[in-house]
Amino acid sequence: MKKQHVQLSDPDRTYLEDLISKGELPVKMYQRALGLLELDRGKTYQAVADILGVSHNSVSGWGQKYQEERLQCLHDKPRSGRPVEIDGMQRAKITALACSQAPEGYGAWTLRLLAEKAVELEYCEHVSHSTVSEILKKTN
């Protein structure tokens, strides 16, 4: 007799089936939901991995996380990382500054001048000329 890796509760199974039938899900969430349903139907980790085109470890992880977290396993956890220092409004101000008239004595804005002026006008606490370059590259 085959070992059933995941046994969904009836409300969870119904929820997952409804979720998949909607059709507008992030790919990761769709794969996790479909994987859990297939595991509930008695398929092995490897069979589900082959169907979904993911690794065996991913599928077994979904099964283990379902046992621990129930349906919360469908969602990604917040990831650590460096927080955003310059938000959209600050980027817009720097872009507008670059589009303005250059300071007296200069023919055009330089990246270093823009960075210094943005700090001087208190758009942000600090910004490097390379960050200003990245901000301006993203504009047309």
**Largest Cα–Cα separation, the chain:** 84
The C-alpha R_g of the chain, in whole angstroms, comes to: 25
Could you report the per-residue pLDDT of 50-94, keeping only the tens digit for each? Answer: 988 999 898 888 888 888 888 888 888 888 888 778 888 999 999
16-22: long-range pairs with CB below 8 Å, 24+: 16/71, 19/74
In the prediction, which pLDDT does 131 show? 92
Q: Encoding tokens for residue 39?
A: 């595991």
Question: How far is residue 98 from each of residues 51, 91, 108, 110, measured CA to CA in Å?
Answer: 52, 11, 9, 9
| pTM, entire model | 0.57
Q: How confident is the model at residue 3 (pLDDT cuts 50, 70, 90)?
A: low
Q: Is the pLDDT of residue 1 over 50?
A: no
Residue spans per domain, the chain? 10-74, 88-137
- What is the pLDDT at residue 2? 58
Give the number of other Cβ atoms within 10 Å of residue 52's Cβ. 17
